[in-house]
Amino acid sequence: MEYCEIGSQDLETIAILSERHLTHGKKILDDIRQHRLMTDYFGVKAVEQDQIIGFYTCIEGRLEFTLPHPEAEREIRKIIGDKKIVTGDTLYVDPAYRGRGIASELSRRVTEMARKRGGKFFLTEAWIHPDGIVPARKIVPFNGDVVYRKILPGFYRDLYKYGMECPICGRDCVCGAEVELHIL
């Protein structure tokens, strides 16, 4: 297993994997493809036999959720002030490779990159499935100490308005999110 920084040559694969296994929709593909210049988009990939089997991408300098949530955004802005924030964008590990610590290692490495890039805060948006499972719960502690945490039921209910679909619920998503702000 090799871990290395993603580059613009990886974005098409990341877009396809994201759309196939995470939130579906043309918007996901378009959003990731727009990051080709890589000015504020960075991340780490896990590679085995020349295949990307996992990645964790981030957006530098912007507080950005999958969908707008103005109240949570205002609360977080009060905390961060003018300090630099990094937002965790997408964390994915191929199902055949899960349970091997890959996501933890990706999280550790992307957090270190965020620090080196001058980030002071790291924002995570962890998906809460309808059954209450939070797949990223074990991973987000690697992003630093929590200074803000909020559970937002129905966080993704408007995905369809943005041309996206939940891989679990379909068009009528009931999934929530666990939003955390970490100090780096």
Encode pLDDT of 122-140 as tens digits. Answer: 999 999 999 999 988 888 7
Q: Residue for token digits 């059954």?
A: 131
Predicted local distance difference test score (pLDDT) of residue 110? 96
Higher pLDDT: 5 or 39? It is 5
2-183 belongs to CATH 3.10.20.740? no
Encode pLDDT of 74-128 as tens digits. Answer: 999 999 999 999 999 888 899 999 999 999 999 999 999 999 999 999 999 999 9
**In the chain, what percentage of residues exceed pLDDT 70?**
89
3-state secondary structure of 103: helix
Residue 159 pLDDT more than 90?
no
Q: Residue for token digits 């579906």?
A: 24
Q: The whole model's pTM is what?
A: 0.87
Which residues share a beta bridge with 183?
121, 145
Structure tokens of 12?
């098409």
Smallest Cα–Cα separation from 54: which of 10, 85, 9? Answer: 10
Predicted local distance difference test score (pLDDT) of residue 49? 95
Give the torsion through C-alpha atoms of 167, 180, 39, 66, to 10 deg: 30
How far is 28 from 6, CA to CA, in rounded Å?
18
| CB 146 within 8 Å of CB 76 | no
The kind and range of the H/E element at 88 are strand 85-93
The size of the chain, in residues, is 184
Backbone phi, psi, residue 117, to 5°: -85, 5
Encode pLDDT of 14-66 as tens digits. Answer: 877 776 665 555 565 566 666 656 678 899 999 999 999 999 999 999 898 88
- Tell me the C-alpha to C-alpha distance, in Å, between residue 71 and each of 59, 79, 128: 20, 13, 19
Which range among 51-55, 161-165, 175-179 shows the weakest confidence by mean pLDDT? 161-165
Provide the b/e sequence for 162-182 (b: ≥16 CB within 10 Å): bebbbeeeeeebebbbbbbbb
Number of continuous H segments (helices) and E segments (strands) in the chain: 4, 7
Which residues share a beta bridge with 90?
57
How far is 106 from 6, CA to CA, in rounded Å?
11
Predicted local distance difference test score (pLDDT) of residue 154? 95
Predicted local distance difference test score (pLDDT) of residue 175? 95
